[in-house]
Structure 1
Amino acid sequence: MSEAQITDNHDEIRHWAEARKGRPARVKGALDGGILRIDFGEAEPNLEPISWDEFFRIFDHNKLLFLRQDKTADGSLSRFNKFVGRP
């Protein structure tokens, strides 16, 4: 597996997601309304699309970092990502 990168830069996050045909989303019905995901278009009925502005408002409010992998071990584009709290 390729090395993971971590960022809070909005432009980097958006570019990474869009390069993989990902769109901003959140989990429907989450108590705080702010469990973020990147939706890659597979059937996930528990996700609802949101704007990038709303996505980054929640991201900043929850003081998150975005952990991502750019490429897999074989050099293919990776879609692995995770949201983590700031230390």
Structure 2
Amino acid sequence: MKWLFPVLLLLLIALQFRLWVGEGSMADVVRLGQEIEAQSLENETLKQRNAVIAAEVEALKSGLDAVEERAREDLGMVKSDETFFMVVEPDKAKGR
């Protein structure tokens, strides 16, 4: 009977150690919950970005207006009957 109490005490200490420090511990659960929350926020941001890109792709597939707008913005294209004016504002740092 003398060995029963120390064995039970060691078992209790081992179980408490695993609960608070080991793998699957309370701290581990809290950390994983924070990681899940951060990943959920990132996923939501990426879903919104994907929705914008999907809408842009659909607009490019459906009509020439989106293609023309993209060509004007990205490539600087101008129609043959248009005149292109570039307004350059002076650099404020050079003006001193």
TM value normalised by structure 2:
0.18
Q: Between Structure 1 and Structure 2, which shows a larger proportion of strand residues? A: 1
Q: Which has the larger radius of gyration?
A: 2
Q: Between Structure 1 and Structure 2, which shows a larger proportion of helix residues? A: 2
